């Protein structure tokens, strides 16, 4: 892969995570991820007996803007980051989340993400109960839940979601015209080109020896009535029956290409994306991850 392609792939991955480009050259770029206050996370922390919101406020106050310098040297990506004091302290945590997100099965991913979350919630509950002092009045606050409490809201459908019976399945067979949906994001598999070969006479897209290109024409649609979704090719992963996983490969001659777009309610984007796979590989799974905090991925199975 050319140096510009390696750099563009990393820029695309970070853009999907909220990074912004400060400056860019042919083989180097500077990016930053601004510090943003999340009312959603503040509300979720507030649900932990109200005291959790102070944890989030302290964390936000300590958090610094992240800066990254990307370079491609001799065909390899070199990344230098400035994380700030809190970033360095949380570096092991960030590494753990990246590892959890790389798990291949839904069960393994759920255990990897869920273990620490359950532990933190259990710790907060224990601290809250101990701090309550065991009085009758305090016990009443802990045990009783008012109408519209978080426990009741969890079982209600998210705003704008269609009834369960009317929604497409999350896991479907990989075929032209297949539709799957998860977390308010609907994916349509419009076309499959396997192998994909550029029609250009002097095309820059040529697979390496022992490889072939596979391309997919997909539509990403955000179907909820509120909020937004950052639809991007970086959220797609492809794997084969031998367990090899492949990430998006920048193919210049694909037209139109699938871009990264912030989708509002009812909005959609469509385009082609490609992968370079082993020449003899049998495709197994095309997956789209609509939310890194859940395990409800969209899955198109070829077998």
pTM tops 0.85, yes or no = no
Burial group, residue 87, by CB count within 10 angstroms (0-12, 13-18, 19+): middle
- The answer on 277 and 175 residing in a single domain is yes
Per-residue pLDDT at 40: 64
- The answer on 256 and 188 residing in a single domain is yes
Per-residue pLDDT at 174: 94
- The answer on 174 and 273 residing in a single domain is yes
- Asked whether residue 94 is assigned to any structural domain, the reply reads no
Give the domain-ending residue among 32, 59, 89: 89
Give the domain-ending residue among 31, 64, 89: 89
Q: Band the pLDDT of 50: cuts 50, 70, 90.
A: low
- The answer on 271 and 172 residing in a single domain is yes
Share of the chain above pLDDT 90, in %: 27
- Asked whether residue 202 is assigned to any structural domain, the reply reads yes
Instruction: Give the tens place of pLDDT for each residue, 85-131.
Output: 555 555 676 666 666 666 667 666 667 667 777 777 877 788 767 76
Q: At what angle do helices 52-62 and 39-46 cross, to 10 degrees?
A: 140
Lowest mean pLDDT among 28-37, 71-80, 257-266: 28-37
Domain that holds residue 128: 106-155
- The answer on 231 and 144 residing in a single domain is no
Share of the chain above pLDDT 70, in %: 66
Q: At what angle do helices 106-132 and 91-101 cross, to 10 degrees?
A: 140
Instruction: Dig out the tokens for 129 from the structure.
Output: 């109960």
Name the residue with higher pLDDT: 173 or 203. Answer: 173
Instruction: State yes or no: pLDDT of 46 exceeds 90.
Output: no
Q: What CATH code is carried by the domain that includes residue 274? A: 2.60.40.1240
- The bridge status of strand 185-193 relative to strand 211-222 is antiparallel
- The answer on 263 and 229 residing in a single domain is yes
Per-residue pLDDT at 95: 66
- The answer on 142 and 168 residing in a single domain is no
- Asked whether residue 231 is assigned to any structural domain, the reply reads yes
- The answer on 169 and 118 residing in a single domain is no
Mean of all residue pLDDT scores within the chain: 76
**CA Rg, the chain, in Å?**
22
- The answer on 270 and 249 residing in a single domain is yes
**What is the tally of structural domains in the chain?**
3
**Any idea how long the chain is?**
303
- The answer on 288 and 235 residing in a single domain is yes
Q: Band the pLDDT of 218: cuts 50, 70, 90.
A: very high
Per-residue pLDDT at 148: 42
Instruction: Give the tens place of pLDDT for each residue, 265-274.
Output: 999 999 998 9
Instruction: Give the tens place of pLDDT for each residue, 138-183.
Output: 444 443 444 443 333 434 455 555 555 567 999 999 999 999 999 9
Cα atoms found within 13 Å of the Cα of residue 301, Cβ hemisphere only: 7
User: Tokens 């029956």 sit at which residue?
Assistant: 241
- The answer on 134 and 46 residing in a single domain is no
- Asked whether residue 95 is assigned to any structural domain, the reply reads no
Burial group, residue 28, by CB count within 10 angstroms (0-12, 13-18, 19+): middle
- The answer on 289 and 168 residing in a single domain is yes
- Average pLDDT of span 229-234: 89
């Amino acid at each position: 892969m050319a140096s510009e392609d390696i750099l563009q792939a990393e820029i695309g991955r970070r853009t999907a995570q909220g990074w912004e480009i400060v400056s860019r050259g042919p083989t180097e770029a500077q990016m930053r991820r601004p510090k943003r206050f999340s009312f959603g996370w503040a509300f979720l922390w507030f649900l932990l007996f109200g005291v959790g919101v102070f944890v989030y406020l302290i964390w936000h106050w300590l958090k610094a803007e992240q800066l990254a310098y990307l370079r491609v040297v001799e065909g390899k990506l070199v990344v230098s980051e400035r994380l700030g004091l809190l970033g360095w302290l949380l570096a092991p945590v960030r590494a753990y989340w990246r590892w959890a997100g790389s798990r291949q099965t839904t069960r393994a991913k759920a255990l990897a993400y869920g273990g620490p979350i359950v532990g933190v919630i259990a710790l907060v509950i224990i601290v809250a109960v101990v701090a309550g002092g065991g009085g009758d009045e305090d016990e009443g606050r802990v045990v009783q839940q008012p109408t519209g409490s978080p426990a009741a809201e969890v079982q209600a459908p998210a705003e704008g979601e269609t009834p369960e019976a009317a929604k497409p399945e999350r896991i479907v067979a990989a075929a032209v015209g297949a539709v799957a949906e998860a977390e308010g994001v609907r994916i349509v598999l419009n076309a499959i080109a396997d192998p994909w070969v550029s029609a250009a006479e002097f095309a820059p897209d040529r697979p390496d020896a022992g490889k072939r290109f596979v391309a997919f024409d997909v539509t990403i649609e955000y179907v909820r009535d509120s909020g937004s979704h950052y639809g991007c090719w970086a959220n797609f992963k492809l794997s084969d029956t031998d367990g090899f996983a492949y990430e998006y490969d920048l193919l210049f001659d694909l037209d139109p290409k699938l871009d990264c777009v912030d989708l509002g309610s009812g909005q959609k984007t469509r385009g082609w994306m490609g992968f370079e796979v082993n020449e003899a590989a049998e495709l197994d799974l095309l997956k789209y991850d609509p939310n890194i905090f859940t395990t409800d991925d969209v899955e198109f199975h070829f077998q």
